[in-house]
Amino acid sequence: MKRWLLRPTPQGKASTPPAVWADELAISPRLLDILWRRGLTTRSALHAFLSPRLSSLSPPERWPQLPDAARILCSALLAGKRLVVWGDYDVDGITASTLVLDVLETHGITALCHIPDRNAEGYGLNIPHVEALADQGCGILLTVDCGIADVEAIRRACELGMTVVISDHHLPPETLPPAHAVCNPRLYREEELPYPHLAGVGVAFYLMAALNAELAQHTGKRHSMGDCLDLVALGTLADVMPLTGENRILVRGGLARIATAKRPGLSALKAVCGMNPAAPLNAGQVVFRLAPRINAAGRMGQADIALHLLREKNMTRAAQLAQNLDELNQLRRQEEECIHTAARAQALELLSNAPRTGLVLYGKSWHPGIIGIVASRIVEEFYRPTIILCEDQGTLKGSGRSIREFDLYAGLRNTSSCLVSFGGHRQAAGVRLHLEKLKEFRARFETVTAEILGTTPLTPSLILEGTLGFDVASDKDFLNELDLLQPFGPGNPEPIFQSPPLLVKDRSPLGRGGEHVQLRLTDEESGITLSAKAWRMAEELKQDIVGRRILLAYTPRLDTYNGIASVDVGIKDWRPC
């Protein structure tokens, strides 16, 4: 069970907002209070949040280096140089690559694209393939969602006469690659930027918007950048970027674009997920249904299938590609369950021997494309920063995930003497090391996590907006209001409320393996009964829960299926009443 904490009032602010603001904004006092506690304490901030308009996006010229990078690319293209875009094999990289190709196609420019094979090449740029692309006549190398740490490969590209532009959002090394232009928000202080938290596809979006304007002066054509927002939303959500500021505007616009079903690949992907191709999606549905199928292609070493799907214009061919991705995702899920079972057993054994605030788990034959997902599941269960390692190309490759209280990238910096390389973010990172360094790395990682987190294992916490009875949770007007807060994600979490005492009337299993559960619950204060779903909580909520009184930490939402609206209650945690 988690700690339940009431979201505090912003420091230095009154405990409640001016009541008149609710009428001015045409929202309920209850919603106004939620927004106030989330730090939206001025009329202008509230209005901007509730009315995120595409016209509010920052123009490309406000982003450092983007105008120069666009001019460099435009000049090289007009000189007849052939462009290759080098993207990452995850959703962020694949959507960014698609976006670049789409914009160039509008201007009559055919470009190549290289998505590395995860198993054969690994992450980032490599010299052999850079040389091969130069041999094919590529004179421009544009990276998306990668490149910032690939000093030697970029140097080689420049030696071969390529014009090199890097667009990336990962943390830069101390020595930057010798590219002709580098577009990366992480190179600047937050106050120097319109917004510091773009995904790789977000950086590509602004760069291509600037290039689009440059090319339009020469080609007489202009790509509608709004047509790219579905890609931006997909990549931003899959890369778990903060949904604040510019990202909130981009993702909201992108979700609206996805609902129009104008990109055949996404329509086909929605169909294989069992959804109406023209149905609107929320952020969670994109993250848990669309994104895993695109990621599965890269994880299983076939990222090109996902790229072809997103660029396909024929619905019949798109449907076949989507089916291929669905089959790859099924294989990925089977592999994931095997690895998770073994990794979980290893974690339990390590924790039984000694208290540990960090976990390093290793399986020789675990799939390198799947260990990151398993790391997330281990963190979710054990609430400890976790690195999962496997053998890959003669060394150990690792994927790590962290908890809110621990900066994983900074922690790995303190273990760098054990590593061949590492990179990533605060919450997710990758490592590579030699097998003989495994024991030393595990000990060092456990020491670093203990220094930051202490030796007592932490308990995860839930931030609650307040108490909410089923009378309000079933009020469709209030649930429609909560939709104004969408999209939900990092920086803008879905509101979680505490229930009043509830009587458990019934319990039934969900899912093929019965790992999920559905409860029928009665709020005895209002007399209202609702059904609630708990994911991966069947072991906690056993059959003997029926007849007991409990408290829930839960999220209410309005679910519409086949035109019929119903109240959907998601259980985040529970405790005896």
List the domain boundaries for the chain: 3-51+462-576, 60-232, 354-453
Closest CA to 198 of 58, 47, 45, 2: 58
Residue 165 β-bridge partners:
142, 181
Per residue in 198-227, pLDDT tens?
A: 999 999 999 999 999 999 999 999 999 999
Q: How confident is the model at residue 561 (pLDDT cuts 50, 70, 90)?
A: low
Q: How confident is the model at residue 20 (pLDDT cuts 50, 70, 90)?
A: very high
Report the distance separating Cα 395 and Cα 385, nearest Å.
22
Per residue in 102-129, pLDDT tens?
A: 999 999 999 999 999 877 887 789 999 9
The DSSP result for 261-293, as a single string, is T-SHHHHHHHHHTTS-TT----HHHIIIIIHHH
Per residue in 293-315, pLDDT tens?
A: 999 888 787 889 999 999 999 99
Report the distance separating Cα 476 and Cα 481, nearest Å.
8
Whether residue 399 is predicted with pLDDT greater than 80 in this model: the reply is: yes
Report the distance separating Cα 548 and Cα 525, nearest Å.
16
Tell me what pLDDT residue 353 has.
Answer: 86
Measured from the Cβ of residue 543, the count of other Cβ atoms closer than 10 Å reads: 10
Q: Which two tokens stand for residue 333?
A: 């899920």
Whether residue 562 is predicted with pLDDT greater than 70 in this model: the reply is: no
Contact 127, 99 (CB under 8 A): no
Contacts of 182-190 with CB under 8 Å at 24 or more apart are 182/65, 182/69, 182/148, 183/63, 183/65, 183/66, 183/69, 183/207, 184/148, 185/63, 186/148, 187/64, 188/64
What beta strand segments (E) does 334-408 contain? 359-362, 386-392, 395-401
Q: Does domain 60-232 have CATH number 3.90.1640.30?
A: yes
Per residue in 338-378, pLDDT tens?
A: 999 999 999 999 999 888 999 999 999 999 888 999 999 99
CATH domain 354-453 topology: Diaminopimelate Epimerase; Chain A, domain 1 (3.10.310)
Per residue in 60-84, pLDDT tens?
A: 999 999 999 999 999 999 999 999 9
Report the distance separating Cα 532 and Cα 530, nearest Å.
7
Model pTM score:
0.89
Per residue in 440-498, pLDDT tens?
A: 999 999 999 999 999 888 889 999 999 999 999 999 999 999 999 999 998 999 999 99
Whether residue 173 is predicted with pLDDT greater than 90 in this model: the reply is: no
Whether residue 2 is predicted with pLDDT greater than 80 in this model: the reply is: yes
Closest CA to 417 of 431, 399, 400, 403: 431
Report the distance separating Cα 529 and Cα 430, nearest Å.
46
Position of tokens 């994927």? Answer: 399
Tell me what pLDDT residue 563 has.
Answer: 60
Calculate mean pLDDT across residues 277-290: 90
CATH domain 3-51+462-576 topology: OB fold (Dihydrolipoamide Acetyltransferase, E2P) (2.40.50)
Cα of first residue to Cα of last residue in the chain, in angstroms, is 13
Task: Check for a shared fold between 3-51+462-576 and 354-453.
Answer: no
Contact 385, 411 (CB under 8 A): yes
Mean pLDDT (the chain) is 93
